[in-house]
Amino acid sequence: MRRAESFVRGLNHLQGEWGISVSIEPPITAAEADRLAAELPLGLPAPLRMLYLEGAGRFDCRFHWSPRKDVLPQTERVFPYQQTLFGGPAFIAWNELLQVHGIHTWWDGLDDPSTEEQQKGREIWRQTVPFIAVGNGDIVGLHVTGESDVYPVVYLCHDDEECPVTPISPSFEHFLSEWEKICYAGPEIWLLSRFLQKGKALSGDGSTARAWREIMTPACV
């Protein structure tokens, strides 16, 4: 988390209009984590418990950037036709996590799913513990199935009934590692999708990721 905060605070080299916001609160106690786990419909998965216990109870470090015109040709090679970009890790604060679980009621007013993909999407949606609220109604969360201690990270799109779920990482640890490599772009799916390997796993090792790191240097780790 210290590296992520340093990265965001070090973005003053960006050319164009940019801004950052940083809000961090101390880690929670074990008693608070236990109480939260008891209240959450799906419990508190171990990776999130560790995030709040050893990282921060609130961690919100965001940036936005409108590149200068002479820089746009470089950024548009990574994000075509985009003149404003967003990024930075911002996790749902521990004391706001319970209310975000209202996402599970999103399906209640919809017709029964008509396709196998929609049915699968509904099941995943209702078995997901959110940890990032994207801001447009979408969610990034851990798909908790009870079959394993390693939970895949999924992107839940609130306004796409045909494809409501996009897998983005096989585990929370993998997600954090690869997200750092792409300089915390997004997490809006239209940004993350540029780094999805075979459409399913976030990767910071491809040519697109390398191009983005070159642009964000020296701030990016």
Name the pTM for this structure: 0.90
Task: Kindly indicate the confidence band of residue 24, based on its pLDDT and cuts at 50, 70 and 90.
Answer: very high
What's the CATH code, domain 2-216?
A: 3.40.1580.10
The amino acid that residue 19 corresponds to is G
Task: Kindly indicate the confidence band of residue 115, based on its pLDDT and cuts at 50, 70 and 90.
Answer: confident
Pairwise CA distance, residues 194 & 155, whole Å = 14
Closest CA to 34 of 12, 52, 19, 13: 52
Mean pLDDT of the chain: 89
Question: 128 near 141, Cβ under 8 Å?
Answer: yes
The mean per-residue pLDDT over the stretch 205-212 comes to 94
Task: Kindly indicate the confidence band of residue 11, based on its pLDDT and cuts at 50, 70 and 90.
Answer: very high
Convert the pLDDT of each residue in 123-170 to its tens digit: 888 899 999 999 888 999 999 986 678 999 999 987 666 668 899 999
Could you state, in order of their start, the residue ranges of all structural domains in the chain?
2-216
| Predicted local distance difference test score (pLDDT) of residue 100 | 76
Phi, psi (deg, nearest 5) at residue 24: -130, 135
Task: Kindly indicate the confidence band of residue 221, based on its pLDDT and cuts at 50, 70 and 90.
Answer: very low
Query: What number of other Cβ atoms are within 10 A of residue 3's Cβ?
Result: 9
Query: What number of other Cβ atoms are within 10 A of residue 166's Cβ?
Result: 20
Q: Tokens 């101390």 correspond to what residue?
A: 26
Q: H helices within 43-171, ranges in order? A: 46-50, 72-78, 97-100, 116-125
Pairwise CA distance, residues 101 & 121, whole Å = 16
The mean per-residue pLDDT over the stretch 61-81 comes to 95
